[in-house]
């Protein structure tokens, strides 16, 4: 089903003068997986992994990534791949006004003559006229700002403060003494009760996680990637390749059982990381 795609990948790799071992190191994949891909066997891993490896393979051997993925999907669905060819657009030459198409009416002739005469003016004259307009515009803005400031300070200086009450100063002081303002203590700062989980990968790895009982989310982490999540009570994670993952709880590294090319299911709380059976 994928034989034609596999032959195209091998041809591109050989054209790039790369051996299977060299390409496996570049895209960070096990050599046995690379051999199976080049044999057209693309069912040994979940589709999520296969797509990621095909993208990395295409980029490494200078193939069009989008075209490669379309060929994979067409072969997977059992359909022939038909590339869409777009015809290049032809530049159309601008239409020229022929002498017979020019309107020689008096009004049109005058406007055309005026435009032609303006086009013959010296460029320096046109530039000076534009600079003069800019100077007048800036001068008008400065004058407007100065006028606004003068009006503002004039209104502010003529304003009279309003008297709130006719109560004598002595009575106000006595009232302030009889009714002291009570001071309430500021509320204590809230304590953050959440904890953080950080995942660091050394190779491409599939991870599924659920935070505080929420729906599970799938994600694919590439090599040397970092992923962090916070939770209140617990985080349940399902790691596709346990040897490619390091876990840090609140910034501290954690130990858990690891087996090569085997997944691990872990339950993480604020105090520990424990393995969980399926």
Total of domains in the chain:
2
Within-domain flag for 175? no
Q: Render pLDDT for 237-275 as a digit per residue (tens, 0 to 9).
A: 888 888 888 999 898 999 888 887 778 888 889 888 888
Residue-level pLDDT at 105: 52
Whether 140 maps to a domain, the answer reads no
Residue 150 domain-assigned (yes or no): no
Query: What does the pLDDT average to over 83-107?
Result: 49
Whole-model pTM: value is 0.33
Which range is least confidently modeled, 67-81, 121-135, 140-154, 248-262? Answer: 121-135
Count Cα neighbours of 132 within 13 Å in the Cβ-side half-sphere: 6
Q: Which of 76, 100, 125 is the last residue of a domain?
A: 76
Query: Tens digit of pLDDT for each residue in 136-166?
Result: 888 889 999 999 999 888 887 765 455 454 5
Task: CATH number of the domain at 9, please.
Answer: 1.10.260.40
Q: Which domain holds residue 46?
A: 3-76
Of the three residues 29, 60, 76, the one that is the final residue of a domain is 76
Beta-strand pair 245-249/217-221: unpaired
Residue 84 has pLDDT above 70, yes or no: no
């Amino acid at each position: 089903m994928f034989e034609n795609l596999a032959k195209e990948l091998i041809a591109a790799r050989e054209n790039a003068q790369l051996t299977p071992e060299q390409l496996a190191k570049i895209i960070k994949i096990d050599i046995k997986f690379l051999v199976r891909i080049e044999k057209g066997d693309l069912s040994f891993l979940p589709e999520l992994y296969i797509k990621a490896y095909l993208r990395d393979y295409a980029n490494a051997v200078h193939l069009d990534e989008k075209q490669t993925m379309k060929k994979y999907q067409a072969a997977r669905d059992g359909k022939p791949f038909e590339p869409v060819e777009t015809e290049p657009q032809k530049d159309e030459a601008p239409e020229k006004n022929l002498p017979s198409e020019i309107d020689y009416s008096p009004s049109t002739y005058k406007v055309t003559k005026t435009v032609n005469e303006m086009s013959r003016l010296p460029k320096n004259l046109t530039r000076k006229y534009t600079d003069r307009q800019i100077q007048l515009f800036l001068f008008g803005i400065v004058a407007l700002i100065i006028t606004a400031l003068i009006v503002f300070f004039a209104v502010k200086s003529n304003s009279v403060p309003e008297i709130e009450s006719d109560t004598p100063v002595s009575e106000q002081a006595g009232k302030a003494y009889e009714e002291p303002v009570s001071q309430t203590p500021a509320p204590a700062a809230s304590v953050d009760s959440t904890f953080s989980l950080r995942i660091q990968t050394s190779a491409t790895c599939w991870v599924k996680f659920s935070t505080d009982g929420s729906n599970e989310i799938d994600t694919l982490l590439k090599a040397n990637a970092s992923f962090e999540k916070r939770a209140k009570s617990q985080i349940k994670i399902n790691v596709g390749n346990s040897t490619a993952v390091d876990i840090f709880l609140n910034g501290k590294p954690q130990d858990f059982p690891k087996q090569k090319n085997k997944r691990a299911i872990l339950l993480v709380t604020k105090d520990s990381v424990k393995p969980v059976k399926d």
